[in-house]
Chain A
Amino acid sequence: AQRVTQPEKLLSVFKGAPVELKCNYSYSGSPELFWYVQYSRQRLQLLLRHISRESIKGFTADLNKGETSFHLKKPFAQEEDSAMYYCAPTPGANSKLTFGKGITLSVRP
């Protein structure tokens, strides 16, 4: 069974436009959720995790248990946000991450 869904493969927006990258998961209870990002020619790296409730590079992600979603949002996209984004939930402690298929965000000038 698919445990994490990123329904879109590509999102293209203009600079300054709002961005929402969707992620849905199928775990019950209290999963831990992560977003990882891979910029061009760079390594895959952690962008943010639910438990820290931080805003990183202007991105936030809210856990909606009712909708089992953890969408990544940014109010005003920048060109340097262009990258591949992966949602990665885990059911809980000592359980492995399952990465979504990823979405390519392209921010045009």
Chain B
Amino acid sequence: DAGVIQSPRHEVTEMGQEVTLRCKPISGHNSLFWYRQTMMRGLELLIYFNNNVPIDDSGMPEDRFSAKMPNASFSTLKIQPSEPRDSAVYFCASSLFTYQETQYFGPGTRLLVL
């Protein structure tokens, strides 16, 4: 298994543009997590899916952020419109069941909004 796959690895965009980040979890894992990492705030959980259903989205910063998981093997995190303060590294992680299980992280997407 290649582990959690994220694309793109790097994204540079201009303020106001739509950004879509993609994640493929490990096959067989039932939980998927999106995190954002910044110097100021560290690693923050944005949203958690279990069996493709959003369970906890309390970390989603505002309406500009949305996440979907249409099936067990794919999830997207969308920012529309993007702002410079969204610049960060976005990680996707998956686990077998819930929070309590080991989370396996993807390589991250480094986003820069100009």
Are chains A and B native binding partners rather than an unrelated pairing? yes
Is the C-beta of B91 less than 8 angstroms from some C-beta in chain A? yes
Q: In the complex where A96-B45, A102-B43 touch, is A32 in contact with B100 (Cβ < 8 A)?
A: yes
Is the C-beta of A86 less than 8 angstroms from some C-beta in chain B? yes
Is the C-beta of A97 less than 8 angstroms from some C-beta in chain B? yes
Q: Are A90 and B99 in contact (CB under 8 A)?
A: yes
Q: Which of A46, A94, A100, A101 contacts B99 (CB 8 A)?
A: A94
A95→B48 CA distance, assembly (Å): 11
Q: Are B105 and A97 in contact (CB under 8 A)?
A: no
* A residues less than 8 Å from B43 (CB atoms): 44, 86, 99, 102
Is the C-beta of B42 less than 8 angstroms from some C-beta in chain A? yes
Report B30-42 CB contacts with A as 1/0, cut-off 8 Å. 0000010000001
Is the C-beta of B28 less than 8 angstroms from some C-beta in chain A? no
Kindly identify, within residues 45 to 89 of chain B, every residue whose CB is under 8 Å from any CB belonging to chain A: 45, 48, 56
Q: Which of A43, A96, A101, A102 contacts B105 (CB 8 A)?
A: A43
The residue on B at minimum CB distance from A94 is B98
Is the C-beta of B16 less than 8 angstroms from some C-beta in chain A? no
Q: Are A46 and B48 in contact (CB under 8 A)?
A: no
Chain A residues engaging chain B, CB cutoff 8 angstroms: 32, 36, 43-46, 49, 86, 90, 93-102
Chain B residues engaging chain A, CB cutoff 8 angstroms: 3-4, 35, 42-45, 48, 56, 91, 93, 98-100, 102-108
- 21 inter-chain pairs at a CB distance below 8 angstroms, sorted by A residue, are A32-B100, A43-B3, A43-B104, A43-B106, A44-B43, A44-B91, A44-B93, A45-B105, A90-B99, A93-B98, A94-B99, A96-B99, A97-B45, A97-B99, A97-B103, A99-B42, A99-B45, A100-B42, A101-B42, A102-B42, A102-B43
